[in-house]
């Protein structure tokens, strides 16, 4: 195994070595071959995971890397989704609608970032929380956005691919997600990503070495919202129908849980967190059907939490996961992954 570097560019290139390139290629092939082997249902699960990955990448940039907080990311996802639907209805081609959704949402991100220059910690959390709630309330009152009833999302023209609509949509979502991962990775390796992390670790030192705090905090909010907007656009597309209740406060919390579970400030963490939590949430919807546990949870829930049964079991569990992560592995799944890697590298010592 070669450990020594001979060129500084080796720290910038996408794949560390041939082995990493090989496994990435295998994963890529697998992802692209998938639609020919699995049922549409599984494709939609992967779609949902991918959309969550895109939101998590953006949110992690803001929370994990820049050290700001947002409890209103569902609001950004909503803005992205509604922008896309409006533009598609007006006959704008999807690629432009997608870009515009990202940019419009990014602009909202910058606007929300302005109070962040003065607010910190809990105060910023409240401001972003209010933003998230306000977005859905406002959308709910606008008739041209479908109000509380919601809107159908026009299908985009993917006939030229020669595949079924669901399959083509899967490719669109996967490709954009992969691009988002690469973009985030390059951003974080660059002067801009470093500036974000400098602000997180010490804003005094960051300003003393010439980083304009105002500019870079707004960049971070803007980019984070851009990702959420792109994700919202994709989400609308595969749901086929959107209404304001989809973008609830719980969704914002869910995004936060994803990045904390996955690992704050880590791209691998964003990806792992989104995949694991999306899967868990889906599985927990059927938790009552588990033989003994389901029954016990149902009774527990009715006794202590709510009369409606186990609808909140997934929240209960995500809360529990968060506590475990904070107590035992602050770097989340990414931390676990790192430890495993180091363990195998050093084995048998």
Partner 1 sequence: MAFFQIDNLSKSFGGLKAVDQLDFQVQEKEIFSIIGPNGAGKSTIFNCINGLYKPEQGKILFKGNNLIGRRPDQIASAGIARTFQNLELFAHMTTLDNIMLGRHLSMKASIAAVLGLSFKRSKAAKEELQHRRKVEEIIDFLELESARDQFVSNLPYGKQKLVELGRALALEPDLLLLDEPAAGLTQEEREDMVFWIKDIRDLLGITVILIEHNMQMVQNISDRILAINFGKPITTGTPEEVLGHPEVIRAYLGEDITQV
Residues that bind partner 1 (CB under 8 A): 8-9, 11-14, 182-183, 185-187, 189-195, 197-198, 200-202, 204-213, 219, 223, 265
Between 46 and 187, whose beta carbon lies closer to partner 1?
A: 187
273 touches 258 (CB < 8 A)? yes
- Using a 10 angstrom Cβ sphere, with 0-12 exposed, 13-18 middle and 19 or more buried, the burial of residue 5 is exposed
Between 82 and 216, whose beta carbon lies closer to partner 1?
A: 216
Helix, strand, coil percentages for the chain (3-state, nearest 5): 80, 0, 20
Between 3 and 308, whose beta carbon lies closer to partner 1?
A: 3
How many angstroms separate the Cα of 304 from the Cα of each of 13, 285, 296, 299, 317? 53, 19, 12, 9, 15
Between 208 and 303, whose beta carbon lies closer to partner 1?
A: 208
132 touches 73 (CB < 8 A)? yes
Tell me how far, at minimum, the Cβ of 15 lies from partner 1, in Å: 9
| CA dist., res. 36 & res. 74, Å (int) | 33
Tell me how far, at minimum, the Cβ of 191 lies from partner 1, in Å: 5
Tell me how far, at minimum, the Cβ of 177 lies from partner 1, in Å: 15
Tell me how far, at minimum, the Cβ of 147 lies from partner 1, in Å: 36
Tell me how far, at minimum, the Cβ of 180 lies from partner 1, in Å: 11
Three-class secondary structure of residue 241 per DSSP: strand
* Beta bridge pairs of residue 152: 241
85 touches 154 (CB < 8 A)? yes
Measured at the CA of 246, the angle between CA 244 and CA 248, to 5 degrees, comes to 85
| Helix or strand run (H / E) with residue 333 | helix 332-346
Between 8 and 36, whose beta carbon lies closer to partner 1?
A: 8
Tokens of 58: 């953006």
Between 22 and 279, whose beta carbon lies closer to partner 1?
A: 22
Tell me how far, at minimum, the Cβ of 230 lies from partner 1, in Å: 14
Tell me how far, at minimum, the Cβ of 195 lies from partner 1, in Å: 6
Residue whose pair of structure tokens reads 């992802």 in the numeric block: 31
């Amino acid at each position: 195994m070669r450990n020594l570097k001979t060129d500084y560019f080796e720290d910038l290139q996408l794949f560390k070595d041939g082995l990493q390139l090989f496994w990435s290629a295998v994963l890529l092939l697998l992802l692209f071959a998938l639609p020919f082997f699995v049922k549409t249902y599984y494709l939609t699960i992967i779609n949902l995971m991918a959309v969550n990955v895109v939101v998590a990448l953006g949110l992690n940039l803001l929370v994990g890397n820049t050290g700001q907080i947002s409890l209103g990311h569902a609001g950004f996802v909503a803005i992205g989704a509604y922008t896309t639907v409006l533009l598609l209805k007006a006959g704008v081609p999807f690629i432009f609608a997608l870009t515009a959704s990202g940019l419009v949402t990014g602009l909202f991100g910058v606007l929300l970032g302005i109070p962040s220059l003065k607010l910190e910690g809990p105060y910023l959390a409240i401001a972003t929380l209010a933003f998230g709630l306000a977005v859905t309330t406002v959308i709910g009152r606008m008739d041209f956005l479908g109000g509380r009833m919601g809107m159908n999302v026009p299908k985009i023209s993917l006939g030229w691919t020669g595949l079924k609509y669901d399959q083509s949509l899967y490719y669109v979502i996967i490709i954009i997600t992969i691009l988002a991962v690469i973009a985030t990775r390059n951003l974080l390796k660059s002067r801009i990503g470093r500036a974000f992390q400098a602000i997180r670790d010490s804003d005094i030192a960051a300003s003393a070495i010439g980083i304009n705090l105002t500019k870079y905090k707004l960049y971070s909010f803007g980019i984070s919202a851009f990702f959420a907007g792109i994700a919202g656009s994709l989400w609308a597309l595969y749901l086929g129908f959107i209404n304001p209740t989809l973008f609830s406060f719980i969704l914002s919390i869910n995004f936060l849980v994803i990045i904390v579970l996955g690992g704050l400030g880590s791209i691998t963490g964003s990806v792992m967190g989104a995949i694991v939590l999306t899967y868990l949430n889906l599985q927990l919807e059927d938790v009552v059907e588990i033989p003994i546990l389901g029954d016990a949870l149902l009774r527990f829930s009715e006794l202590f939490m709510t009369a409606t049964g186990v609808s909140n079991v997934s929240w209960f569990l995500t809360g529990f996961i968060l506590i475990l992560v904070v107590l035992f592995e602050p770097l989340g799944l990414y931390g676990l992954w790192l430890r495993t890697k180091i363990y195998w590298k050093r084995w048998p010592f």
